[in-house]
């Protein structure tokens, strides 16, 4: 069996989740506590990947990334980077596609903390930034873990977007879900089954670990 | 909200009134955690807020201590770490350790807040608010969740700290006994307005000059309604007494609450003094 698609899948999911965690934290904080107009528009845009068919997102990203259009050609001339049918393109597409899976749990986690925790920190002379990373983040570990795992799992399960903008290049864009599809197309069911089984098993083990850790985090807090 | 009040340096002001009167909002506006529609707040020679000049000093620069109703201890930090976090320079931990000793928390210093009782959590919150040596200490119903003895111990502790650190103090409370014990002045609020302001006897006694009357504090042990009146068994001056009171006080006289009452020596009559129902 060719392990490359599996390896590629988990590399893509890890890179996407790590970058998204960094991007989503300030965004989640801003959505949770910011006072600004047009919040509804921002929320609607972030939530789009939840409801749109992946092929629609993939199609527009394909147009955007293509060097025949202005954004793709600008990226190419600016950074020498071609985003269609490439791994960096897959990472950017996955980040957009999985954004709500990271932002929403983080925002919910931040909002579930009592307002008095933030206020107490302010009255103790601490800035918003210090309050955020020393008080708020350590107290929403379960939400951070949930957000990370949801994003990771969602990226592992990605198919439509990858197929549209990544295609099927072995070692570059051929992830496990695409490989399964290829094997089924070729009526090669036993190979498809192997890929599927491996994905199934690894995903189950990851979720199992995460929920055990999460339950422990929560039970520590509730045992008072 | 319409409030205008001056608190003399190092005095203790109590704010009282029914729920929803705006007491907590007022306290948070003084702290700088909430912004009033318009108004002016000055502390000493400093202007904290002047909405007409669009001036506003951030809460971080007001040098206040704030004790929250829910204590707001940081759950992921130990008792000692909660105090150290509050210090401007965490190396300067002498005062933190001194306060841990004064609040009898040395044994519990490495515990997390959820491992503490309510009274212990309240002491941590108080120590944490004092570790920055605030000029103004604001307390939002800090003792309401505690039982009678614990409340009294904490009142003593607060008064002791007040004498030692010499800060000005504003305390939101429903407890009339607490107001009499602690406050120089009391402000009564209703519907976002201050309706009365004066010394506790001025507010709670119709004829404060009558020296034949005794003001006593009682903690309700049991209460039952009999023949159109409430029979309250209460702890008064360390002894259990039975008082007969009009039935409309039934809401306020549930077991565990404290109340202040006036005992008229000449007529042997009893009159309840209560924040929500003066006279």
Structural domain harbouring A14: 4-219
pLDDT tens track for A79-107: 888 888 899 999 999 999 999 999 999 99
- Give the domain CATH number at B253: 2.40.50
Three-state SS for chain A is CCCHHHHHHHHHHHHHHHHHHHHHHHHHHHHHHCCCCCHHHHHHHHHHHHHCCHHHHHHHHHHHHCCCCHHHHHHHHHHCCCCCCCHHHHHHHHHHHHHHHHHHHHHHHHHHCCHHHHHHHHHCCCCHHHHHHHHHHHHHHHHHHHHHHHHHHHHHCCCHHHHHHCCCCCCCCCCHHHHHHHHHHCCCHHHHHHHHHHHHHHHHHHHHHHHHHHHHHHHHHHCC
Cα–Cα distance for residue pair A6/A14, rounded to 1 Å: 12
Contacts of A138 in chain B (CB under 8 A): 76
Please tell me the predicted confidence (pLDDT) of residue B176: 83
Range(s) of the domain holding residue B269 = 207-273
Q: Domain total for chain B?
A: 2
Provide the pLDDT for residue B162: 94
Distance CA B112, CA B256 (A): 28
Residue B2 within any structural domain of the chain:
no
**Residue finishing a domain among B148, B170, B201:** B201
Residue B21 pLDDT: 87
Considering the domain boundaries, does residue B193 fall inside one?
yes
What is the structure's pLDDT at B251? Answer: 63
Do residue B60 and residue A122 have CB atoms under 8 angstroms apart? yes
Higher per-residue pLDDT: A29 or B219: A29
**Residue, of A95 and B176, whose pLDDT is higher:** A95
Residue A224 lies in a domain: no
Do B169 and B66 fall into the same domain?
yes
pLDDT at B26: 94
Confidence of residue B278 (pLDDT cuts 50, 70, 90): very low
**Pair (B108, B228) in one structural domain:** no
Confidence at B276, pLDDT banded by 50, 70, 90: very low
Please report whether residue A180 resides in a domain: yes
ipTM surpassing 0.90: no
Q: How is residue A140 written in tokens?
A: 């929403």
Query: Are residues B263 and B179 located together in one domain of the fold?
Result: no
CB contact under 8 A, B65 and A123: yes
Q: What per-residue confidence (pLDDT) applies to B245? A: 77
pLDDT in the model for residue A170: 87
Residue in chain B nearest A135 by alpha carbon: B74
Q: For chain A, which residues score pLDDT lower than 50?
A: 224
Q: For residues B105 and B211, state if they share a domain.
A: no
pLDDT score for B250: 65
> A166-184, pLDDT tens digit by residue?
888 888 888 999 999 999 9
Measured between CB atoms, does A125 come within 8 Å of chain B?
Answer: yes
Confidence tier at B92 by pLDDT (50, 70, 90): confident
Residues of A whose CB is below 8 A from B65: 123
How near does any CA of chain B get to the CA of A14, in Å? 28
Mean of the per-residue pLDDT values for chain B? Answer: 85
Select the residue of B60, B72, B76 nearest A120 (Cβ to Cβ): B72
């Amino acid at each position: 069996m060719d392990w490359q698609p599996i390896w590629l899948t988990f590399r893509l999911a890890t890179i996407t989740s790590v970058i998204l965690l960094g991007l989503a934290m300030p965004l989640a904080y801003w959505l949770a506590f910011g006072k600004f107009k047009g919040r509804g528009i921002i929320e609607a845009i972030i939530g789009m990947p939840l409801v749109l068919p992946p092929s629609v997102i993939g199609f527009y990203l394909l147009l955007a990334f293509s060097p025949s259009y202005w954004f793709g050609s600008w990226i190419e001339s600016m950074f020498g980077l071609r985003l269609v049918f490439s791994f960096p393109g897959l990472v950017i597409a996955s980040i957009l596609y999985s954004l709500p899976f990271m932002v929403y749990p983080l925002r919910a986690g931040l909002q579930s903390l009592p307002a008095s925790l933030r206020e107490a920190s302010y009255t103790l002379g601490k800035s918003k930034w210090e309050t955020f990373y020393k008080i708020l983040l350590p107290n929403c570990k379960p939400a951070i873990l949930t957000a990370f795992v949801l994003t990771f799992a969602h990226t592992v399960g990605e198919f439509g977007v990858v197929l549209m903008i990544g295609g099927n290049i072995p070692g570059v864009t051929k992830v496990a879900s695409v490989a399964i599809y290829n094997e089924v197309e070729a009526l090669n069911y036993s190979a498809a089954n192997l890929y599927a089984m491996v994905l199934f098993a690894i995903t189950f083990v990851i979720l199992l670990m995460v929920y055990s850790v999460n339950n422990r985090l929560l039970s520590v807090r509730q045992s008072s | 909200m319409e409030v205008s009040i001056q608190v003399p340096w190092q005095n203790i002001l109590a704010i009282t009134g029914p729920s929803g009167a705006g007491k907590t909002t007022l306290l948070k506006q003084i702290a700088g955690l909430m912004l009033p529609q318009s108004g002016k707040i000055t502390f000493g020679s400093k202007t904290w807020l002047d909405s007409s000049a669009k001036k506003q000093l951030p809460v971080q620069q007001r040098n206040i201590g704030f004790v929250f109703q829910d204590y707001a201890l940081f759950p992921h930090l130990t008792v000692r770490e909660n105090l150290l976090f509050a210090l401007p320079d965490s190396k300067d931990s002498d005062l933190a350790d001194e306060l841990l000793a004064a609040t009898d928390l040395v044994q519990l210093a490495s515990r997390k807040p959820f491992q503490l009782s309510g009274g212990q959590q309240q002491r941590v919150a108080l120590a944490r608010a004092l570790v920055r040596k605030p000029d103004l200490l604001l307390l939002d119903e800090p003792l309401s969740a505690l039982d009678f003895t614990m409340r009294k111990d904490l009142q003593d502790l607060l008064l002791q700290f007040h004498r030692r650190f010499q800060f000005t103090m504003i305390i939101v409370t429903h407890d009339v006994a607490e107001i009499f014990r602690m406050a120089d002045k009391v402000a009564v609020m209703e519907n976002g307005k201050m309706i009365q302001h004066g010394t506790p006897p001025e507010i709670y006694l119709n004829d404060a000059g009558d020296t034949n009357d005794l003001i006593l504090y009682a903690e309700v042990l049991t209460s039952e309604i009999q023949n159109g009146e409430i029979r309250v068994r209460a702890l008064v001056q360390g002894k259990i007494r039975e008082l007969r009171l009009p039935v409309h006080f039934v809401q306020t006289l549930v077991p565990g609450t404290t109340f202040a009452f006036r005992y008229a020596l000449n007529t042997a009559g009893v009159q309840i003094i209560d924040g929500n129902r003066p006279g």
